[in-house]
Every structure is written in C-alpha cells, then in structure tokens.
Structure 1
Amino acid sequence: MDPPRTKSWSIHTRPDITSKYQILTRVGSGAYADVYKAVRRADSLTVALKEIHDQQSAFREIEALQTLQHSPNVVVLYEYFWSEDEDAVLVLEYLPTDLASVIRGAKRDGLSAGEVKRWIVQVLCGVDACHRNSIVHRDLKPANLLISADGVLKLADFGQARILLETGFVAGNDHPRMLEQYSPNPAAFQPPELIPEAEVVCEGHKNQEQGALGKEVYGGQLDDLRAKDSLDIDRESSIHDGDASCLATCTTSDVEDLLKASYSYEVEEGGNDGYGPLTSCVGTRWFRAPELLYGSTKYGPEIDLWSLGCILAELFSLKPIFPGTSDIDQLSRIFNVLGNISEEVWPGCSKLPDYQIISFGKVEHPIGLEACLPNRSPDEILLVKKLLTFDPSSRATAMELLHDKYLNEEPLPVPISELRVPTTNSAQDEDSSSEWGNYKDMDSDSDSEDFGSVDVTNTNAGFSIRFS
C-alpha cells in the first residue's frame, strides 16, 4: 500500500489548533503520522499533537482511546480535531520516553528484579484493560509502551486497534462520537501497589464478586467472539480492513515475481463477503503472532498475548527474541526455538490460509526458550512460556499473569516512584519509521537470497514453497 498523499497545508497554519496550542517541535515522523510536542495555552500543560494522515488509523485510535479513557495504563486523549478536508490531529498526554529506552538503558545500567516486575505489572494492566473492553491493540511492542517522567507506563499508538464488540459507537456515523473535555487528576490514575498472595488486580477490577477473568470465563468470551467470526464489529463499521493476508495463495504465474521480490503479498481477490474481515498484516513483525504470519483473518486478543510474550522475553534478555528480517525468516526463527507447528501442538493450524503454501524442514532439536533467556529463573521462563505457545487458546490472559506467583513473591515489584526512568525517547537515537520510535529494519521484507534452497511445487490451488 502506498503511503497517503501529503497534504498541501501544515499543522502550523491551522488556527483552530494554534489558537489553543503552542507547537514547540516535531518529536517523531512516519509515513502515516507526525507527532509534535506542544503546550496548551490555557494552562501550560505539555501535550503531544499527533497528526494522522490516514483516516482509517485516526478513526480507530480515537474510538479505542475514548473507550479506554479512564484506564490508568493507557495514554490519555484530551481532545481531537477532525474535519472533512483535513487530517485528524489528536491531543494526547505527553510521555517523554518508552520501554524500548528502558531496555536499551538496562544494557548499560542493569534492571533489578523488582524493577522488571513493576514494568511487567504495568504492561499487563494496560493489556488487560484493552481486552476487558474487547479491544485488540494489534501492535504491541516496547516502542509503543510510553512512560511518563514519574514512571507510569501507558499503552499508546492504537492506529491498528480493533474493537471486536459494540461499545456504544453508533454504526454509520462518519466520525467517532465527540469526546468530552476532561483533565484527569494524575494522582487518581496511579496503578495500585502489588499485594502478595493472589491480590494482584488493576484499578477498576477490585470487586471480587466480578473477580479476575479466569481461563474458563475468558476463554468462553473468546469462543463467543470466534462463533461470530470476530467480524461483527466490522459489519457495523464504516471502516474495513479489506481481505488481506501477509502470506497468501498465489497462482503459478506469480512465482517469478515472488522469488524476485518479497515474501509478503496480497491474497487473491474473491471470497470477500463484503464486510471486510480482519487483516493478517498487522503488528510489527518481531512481535507478530504465528497465526498472523500464516495469514489468519479470524483472531482475537490472543495475538496481543503473543506480542506480550515477546516483550517480556526482551525485558528479561535485553534483546529481541525473534528478530526476523522477513515473514519467512520470522517463522523460521520461531520454529528454531519452539519447534515446528503441527496439529498435535496446535489443533486447527492446518486450516490456516497459508499452511499448505509455506512449509519448513523439520527442526529436530529446537533450542527452547531456556537458551534464549540465559541466567533467568524457572519462574521467569515459565511466564514467557505461558504466552509464547502456538495454540492461541492456550495463551495465558493478562489477568492470569497478574496473579502469577512470580509477581507475588520476593522480591516484590518496586514502587513506581523507585523506577529509573530514561530521560530520552528511543526515537531520538534510532533510525525510526514510527512516530513513537521503532526498531530499525524490522518491518522490511528480505529477498529470497536471504535463504538457502527454496522448492516451489505446483498444486491444485497454485503452488507451495518449502524452505530448508
């Protein structure tokens, strides 16, 4: 998809914005958004102005942030500007750094076990808030986990998020409902301190009659979503993903172009029911769930749980666990650690759109997560294992992990006030394609030259590709 066409005007020339905000400097830029640091003239509050060039992304981000506006571990949306002939501009709380910067700094200064646990608790609370509201973030990664100067971590960048169930938005409206102006009291939004012995809950979930969503209840909700094909909200929304797959069926005439160029290509036309199912081309590759890499368009919050596992692994090892250079290389790296997928370990995997198209030689001796997390405790490794499982239905929920014994035993998570917060954002030091910072080159597909032998076999549906 080509980047959206650049507008002929500038945010600096929009009087509706400049009359309320003094724009200081641009702090990030990408193909679909630019972010500026600004000051609200009324009270000198520092904010971030996110100018989004893609209408679909703007729609999703506004709708998700409105739904999550009282969640302490989600970035605050103060207001937004949107008219027919102009890009949307979101006014967000300004958060100076991110978890990617924490990880980078830890390579030099280290992280205590209590610090690691506090960061994990905050991430889990943010993800739990999303999933309790039927929101799938679809792009969780350290660079999208922003951090305030006093150590509060908040999920950000909801441009790829999807709301799987109706949450009050009236279908057919051109734009999300107007947001009431509010300035939350930061003191009221502090995540609670962790309490030992299974008392770990996030703000807003303390009523024990409601209780934490266990595997049975949470799984039942996911089953209900799957029974509706996870598409009901798409049928009601004016914004659709389209029928796209990262690794999808091609015809034999496409072989030459495929081998010359990239392993990411679009699905064949046809078979669309007119409602626009979910797309598998979401998320940053290093954190993308296997079902997405195999072209699934029927998924739920479980894809965020895989991403969460990759994030926790990076917190423990201080390096990405699956830094693939292409979708195929990404799968190869996952298999080298966890072994091959099969119906035995992942019931139903053979029904994935691209399962019959892309195959790999059997990994006889996968190295296992233990080799990727050297010098980490069995409880830490088990925490990651509960998320990095092939079968999506087997992945632990965020709330389940908040009750995990690892987070409830000594050393306990440190208070937020004791966290060491970096003074700069990762985007200031890295070659970034994201408005909030990114990892260099993780979104670029490599050519077939990056791999060894490639066998292409004609099939009734087109062809299959086997990598050895």
Structure 2
Amino acid sequence: MEQSPPPAKSWSIHTRSEIISKYEIQGRVGSGAYSDVYKARRLSDNLTVALKEIHDYQSAYREIEALQVLQNCPNVVVLHEYFWREDEDAVLVLEFLRTDLDAVIKEGKKRGDGVGVGEVKRWMVQILCGVDACHRNMIVHRDLKPTNLLISDDGVLKLADFGQARILMEPGFVAPDENTQQYEQNPLFQEHTAPPAEVVPEMDSSSEGLRNKRQGIVSREESFREICEYNIQDSLDDIDKETSIQDGDTSCLATGTASDIGDDTLKSYCSYEVEDAENERRGALTSCVGTRWFRAPELLYGSTDYGLEVDLWSLGCIFAELLTLAPLFPGTSDIDQISRIISVLGNLTEEVWPGCLKLSDYGTISFAKVENPTGIEACLPNCSPDEISLVKKLVCYDPAARATAMELLHDEYFSKQPLPVPLSDLRVPLTNSGQDEDSPGGWHGYNDMESDSDFDDFGPMSVHTSSGGFSLQFS
C-alpha cells in the first residue's frame, strides 16, 4: 500500500529555491509544534549545518534578534544566515551540534562514575561565559536548561534555542567590559574564549527589517539602536494573537542537535509560553516562560517585571544537576514546583525577599508554614562546601542576591584544585540526550506535559473567597 505524503509544512522547505540552491537537505532530525529541524550540507564547502524552520513569528524574530547581537560569542550557537520572506516561515541556518549537556549528565549517570570535578568546572565555566555574554548585552534567555546547552565534537559548549529570549532595554546601560577582560585574560578561561573556528559571515536575508548590514564588530550601542529602530518601525507587525508554545519535546532539536524523529527525549521538560500581544508591544514580560524545573520563583508567582536574574536561578538548577546527576526541583506542576522549592528554602516572606508581597500571585497561593526546610545542603549529598556555596549563590529567593555570571567566573572555586580540565579531556557523548529506558522509575518518569492545574497530589486544600477573588492554601 502506497504511503500518504507527509504534511505540507514538513516539506515546505524543499520547495524554496533560495534554500535548495545553497543547501542539500539530508533529512529531518527534529520536529515540534512550532519548528522543524533538518540536517543539511552547504554546497559551497560541504559544511554540515542545521536548518531550523520556525512556524511562529515571535519565536523566529526573537531568535534571530538575539543571535545577531551575540554572533561573535564563542559560547553561543552560530547563526550562519537566515531566510525570511513574506508569507514564508523563517529558516535559520545554524551550526550543527550533535550533543548537549543533558547527554553528559545521563552518560555520567549510566557509567556510574558521574562527571569529574575538573570536567564539571570546565562545563560550568563555558556556561557562565555564554550567559555573561548574553547579560552584558542585556539579553535574558528565559529557557536555560541542559538540553539547550549544546556541545561540539571538540567539547565547546554553546547556548542555543533563543526562541524565548528578550532584549531588555535600559537607558544609559553600559556593559562592564573592564571586568570581562579580567577573566578573558585569565589562563583558566583562555582555552575556550578563543575566536570560533569559522568567522561568521554577513547575514543574508530577504527580510529587510532584520537584515544584518554590519560587517565585523560593531558597538553594542549601535546594535541596540538598530534593534530599537526596528522595534518601533515594525512593532512586531502588530500581532494581535496569543501564542501558546508547547514545544518541550524538541527544544534541543530546534537548535541543531541530532535525534531520531519521534523521540520522547524531553517529555519531562515542558517548555511553554503564553504571550499577550498588547503586553509585548508595551515591553511587558510574560511569567509563563522557561521550563518548569528551571523556572525562577518570580516567574512561578506570576511576575511580569523580572530581569536577567531569572537566568541565574536556572544556572543554579543546572549546576546542581551537573553535580548530582538529578534535577534539583523536578516539579510535576507549577504548584508542585513551588512546593518543592519551599520545602528546601522555606516559606517565601518579606524577610528573605523584600518586595515579594508585590508578586502577582503571592496572595493567591499560600502554603502551610514549613518549620524545618531541608536546605540546599540536603539536595547536594557528597558535594564539597565550595560546590554547595556556588549553588546557594544562585538558588535563593531574592533575585538581587543572586550572584551574576561575571561574579561567579571570579569565584575561587574555579581556581582551586582540581582546575578545569582542557577541552580535549572532556568526555563528549557521541549522540544527543534520549529517554533512559532502563530507569522508568527515575526522574525521567516525571511527565511535565501534564496540566498545571492538577492539584490531586497535594492533599488538603482550602479555597478562600473575597471581594477581590480567591486564594488557595495547601497544608
């Protein structure tokens, strides 16, 4: 029996002459609700690349915008060029990276010997350099997690999947370049801050608004001015729709990681976003971003006035998972996520986080007083005091108290023995992360695609109504 042809959207990229004239498409390696990713060969020099076809305007706009600003950063995935015309999906040409940090964690767990301290430090340094580059450019990633930290065959780690990223404009912002030079000149960091092997060429695009007309390195102020001008002129094309992104199953695939189609790789990492176009136009943020396990408390409590610090919380969760090979807060719903955090850090109060009473949902959801929170130490068994200290500098309620990526790069943890290993000594997995079929009862069993409104697992619950609405209290 003859098979029916695949859906039209899966093959639309094959009909675009401007793409197939430059690239040989070798096959689809990932697919999600808002993107399809193909492995391809660049005809001019046989370079293997990833073609990411994005079906959502906002995600495409954000990713291109962020990657253009970060195009000279060694620890950010390379955007070679992109194609975007009216009535066509955007197609990003990205470097092809076959594995990610999640695979490093899983392989260490499978081997039984974990990830060596020197390796952990090298991975951490690379992550921090990538995040520092974002934050110096006032870019908040908003979806940092192991599967979005891609790794090249020679061990270079790169931040990827900027579909939820936002550039935060602050009047008079000046990047602390002098501090940057201090760590870039440090021998511990020199190895991976070298220029990338391939110089990123001038971007080519048929989209006038985002066409990159710059050659070489331009000032950050000029970059921001161009982006601001485009935002004012285009105003996101006056989108008057809400988008609901539930692309968790292919988040890493959407940046060029290899995978078998249909793999349930990220079932336990549900990533979604609900965007209000009116808020978008006036610069407000949405709280429903990022993958739940790595989502900062201010997002879980509905804040739309947050900053770069949400990425720092995610970093703490990533570092903890790298150290223990298990997620720090594997919540099964947003309520469960908050409950797990409170059980470790204690109740959220003005004493530990001045201003928390102003959070949108602070008065809506409350928990019984936790008399004896377990503390971060209990979550990091067999970890050294320095490792625990590093995580605690990031996993804390008050965003203002979280250490910046720059501050952590200067932390004495990285200058103590054992030092970060050379890139050549890193154990790089051969393939990307996948579902661990040998441990169905492990943390992969948390199916994060469940509804956030499922309260069945939390025991007694009381609902209090008032003229202003209602609140939920869990005991």
- Check whether TM > 0.5: yes
User: What one-letter code is carried by the residue in structure 2 that aligns with 1:129?
Assistant: A
Aligned with 2:340 (options 325, 333, 338): 333
Q: 1:443 to 1:305 in 2, by over 3 A?
A: farther
Q: Deviations over 1:399-452 (max 9, x none)?
A: 10011011111100000111110000115879xxxxxxx996335335121221
Partner of 1:421: 428
Q: 1:25 to 1:200 in 2, by over 3 A?
A: closer
- Segments of structure 2 that go 5 or more residues without pairing to the other structure are 1-6, 172-182, 196-227, 245-271, 438-443
Verify: 1:58 aligned to 2:60, yes or no. yes
Q: What SS does the aligned partner of 1:353 have?
A: coil
Partner of 2:130: 126
Partner of 1:238: 235
Q: What SS does the aligned partner of 1:51 have?
A: strand
Verify: 1:283 aligned to 2:287, yes or no. no
User: What one-letter code is carried by the residue in structure 1 that aligns with 2:307?
Assistant: G
CA distance in 2, matches of 1:241, 1:391: 34
CA distance in 1, matches of 2:321, 2:430: 20
CA distance in 1, matches of 2:48, 2:348: 48
Partner of 1:184: none
- What does residue range 31-42 of structure 1 map to in structure 2 within 5 Å? 31-42=33-44
Partner of 2:221: none
Q: What SS does the aligned partner of 1:35 have?
A: strand
CA distance in 1, matches of 2:150, 2:428: 11
Comparing 92-101 and 6-15, the one that deviates more:
6-15
Verify: 1:296 aligned to 2:303, yes or no. yes
Partner of 2:394: 387
Q: Deviations over 1:2-42 (max 9, x none)?
A: xxx98485212222111111111211111111111111011
How far the C-alpha of 1:200 sits from its partner, in A, is 11
Q: 1:195 to 1:154 in 2, by over 3 A?
A: same
Aligned with 2:146 (options 115, 121, 142): 142
How far the C-alpha of 1:460 sits from its partner, in A, is 2.3
Verify: 1:410 aligned to 2:436, yes or no. no
* Contact kept in structure 2, 1:454 and 1:467, CA below 8 Å: yes
Comparing 24-33 and 59-68, the one that deviates more:
24-33
How far the C-alpha of 1:316 sits from its partner, in A, is 0.5
CA distance in 1, matches of 2:239, 2:397: 25
Partner of 1:350: 357
Verify: 1:467 aligned to 2:464, yes or no. no
Partner of 1:307: 314
* Contact kept in structure 1, 2:273 and 2:288, CA below 8 Å: no
How far the C-alpha of 1:194 sits from its partner, in A, is 5.8
Comparing 139-148 and 26-35, the one that deviates more:
26-35
Partner of 1:155: 159
Question: Alpha carbon RMSD of aligned pairs, Å?
Answer: 3.3
* Contact kept in structure 2, 1:327 and 1:445, CA below 8 Å: no
Partner of 1:46: 48
Q: What SS does the aligned partner of 2:451 have?
A: coil
Aligned with 2:385 (options 371, 378, 395): 378
User: What TM-score, normalized by structure 1, do the two folds share?
Assistant: 0.76
* Contact kept in structure 1, 2:312 and 2:403, CA below 8 Å: yes
Partner of 1:369: 376
- Segments of structure 1 that go 5 or more residues without pairing to the other structure are 168-190, 205-230, 247-263, 431-437
* Contact kept in structure 1, 2:75 and 2:126, CA below 8 Å: yes
Q: What SS does the aligned partner of 1:10 have?
A: helix
Q: What SS does the aligned partner of 1:354 have?
A: coil
Number of equivalences: 389
- What does residue range 177-216 of structure 1 map to in structure 2 within 5 Å? 195=187
User: What TM-score, normalized by structure 2, do the two folds share?
Assistant: 0.75
* Contact kept in structure 2, 1:115 and 1:413, CA below 8 Å: yes
Percent identity over paired residues: 65
CA distance in 1, matches of 2:341, 2:144: 18
Verify: 1:90 aligned to 2:92, yes or no. yes
CA distance in 2, matches of 1:301, 1:440: 28
Q: What SS does the aligned partner of 1:444 have?
A: coil
